[in-house]
Amino acid sequence: MILGLGTGSTAKHAIDRIAELLRIGKLKNIVGIPTSSITHEQAVSLGIPLSDLNAHPILDLAIDGADEVDPQMNLVKGRGGSLLREKMVEAASKKFIVIVDESKLVSHLGGTGLAMPVEIVPFCWEFTLRRLEMLFIEAGCVGKLRVVRESSEPYVTDNGNYIIDLYFKSDMGDLKEASDAILRLAGVVEHGMFLDMATTVIVAGKLGVFVTNK
């Protein structure tokens, strides 16, 4: 099985479990495709065989967490900084399982008031930030350059890019239109909306675990 390995706290636990099952022989013939340098390092340390999209352009399954999940199983991802590679790997997967706790469920994307990340090239990043804000001026959008924690230095992705975190005061509107508008801006590499990609969402809550399939 060719398996996409996500990034973040939820994915970390899943990767630990995959490695354990491999060690005891309950899983065999697994090849992982990591979505970040952090995930790559974790998988190597656990002895999980790895490859990449060049060798395996179609994956059987990807497993990851999410920052937000709406009722249509659309996602916001990338607050951990790995949105581009996550989207490349998970878009290439036949099945994409998302594991979250119930705090990640929202009525609409951007509804938590937390960041919707956009990966951009470093060149004239302030210009790109202003253009992103103007796209969603009616939604009260404010963009902020992501910086390294306890620093004023820009956060740099595995791909050498910057991240602009967008904050919305109201609904951003039609998600497909919003996605297309963001991607049309020169200087934008990718955004953190994962639309119509998840095939299964597993939600852990106070009343138990709930599974939704598409």
| Intra-chain end-to-end CA distance of the chain, in Å | 21
- Give the type of residue at 29: N
pLDDT in tens, 77-106: 999 999 999 999 999 999 999 999 999 999
Helix, coil or strand: residue 126: helix
Look at residue 107 and tell me if it is in a domain.
Answer: no
Is 111 a residue whose pLDDT tops 80?
Answer: no
Look at residue 142 and tell me if it is in a domain.
Answer: yes
Query: What are the phi and psi torsion angles at 100 (to 5°)?
Result: -140, 165
pLDDT of 186 reads: 98
Section 54-63 average pLDDT: 98
| Cα–Cα distance, 15 to 48 (Å, whole number) | 9
Residue 87 and residue 53 share a domain: yes
CA-based nearest residue to 172, from 201, 200, 193: 193
Look at residue 120 and tell me if it is in a domain.
Answer: yes
| Cα–Cα distance, 168 to 136 (Å, whole number) | 8
- Our measurement of the distance from residue 157's CA atom to the centroid of its chain's CA atoms, rounded to an integer in Å, reads 13
pLDDT in tens, 183-195: 999 999 999 999 9
Query: What are the phi and psi torsion angles at 117 (to 5°)?
Result: -80, 150
Residue 85 and residue 15 share a domain: yes
Residue 16 and residue 95 share a domain: yes
CA-based nearest residue to 49, from 16, 12, 25, 22: 22
pLDDT of 18 reads: 97
Residue 158 and residue 202 share a domain: no
Residue 7 and residue 80 share a domain: yes
User: Which structural domain range is residue 81 located in?
Assistant: 2-102+195-213
Residue 88 and residue 23 share a domain: yes
- In 77-131, which ranges are E strands? 93-101, 116-120
Is 110 a residue whose pLDDT tops 90?
Answer: no
Residue 71 and residue 28 share a domain: yes
Section 120-145 average pLDDT: 98
CA-based nearest residue to 2, from 38, 39, 34: 34
Residue 209 and residue 185 share a domain: no
Tally the domains of the chain.
2
Residue 206 and residue 176 share a domain: no
Residue 54 and residue 136 share a domain: no
Residue 79 and residue 53 share a domain: yes
In b/e form, how buried is each residue of 181-196, taking b as 16+ CB within 10 angstroms? bbeebebbbbbbbbbe
Section 129-144 average pLDDT: 97
Copy the structure tokens of residue 51. 């490859």
Look at residue 110 and tell me if it is in a domain.
Answer: no
CATH of the domain at 158: 3.30.70.260
CA-based nearest residue to 88, from 209, 188, 194: 194
Look at residue 153 and tell me if it is in a domain.
Answer: yes
**Helix (H) or strand (E) segment spanning residue 39:** helix 37-46
| Cα–Cα distance, 97 to 49 (Å, whole number) | 20
Residue 209 and residue 170 share a domain: no
Average per-residue pLDDT for the chain: 96
CATH of the domain at 75: 3.40.50.1360
Look at residue 137 and tell me if it is in a domain.
Answer: yes
Query: What are the phi and psi torsion angles at 139 (to 5°)?
Result: -90, 5
Look at residue 109 and tell me if it is in a domain.
Answer: no
Strands 59-64 and 2-5: parallel
Residues designated catalytic:
86
Look at residue 57 and tell me if it is in a domain.
Answer: yes
Locus of tokens 């495709």:
33
pLDDT of 149 reads: 87
pTM above 0.85? Answer: yes
Is 28 a residue whose pLDDT tops 80?
Answer: yes
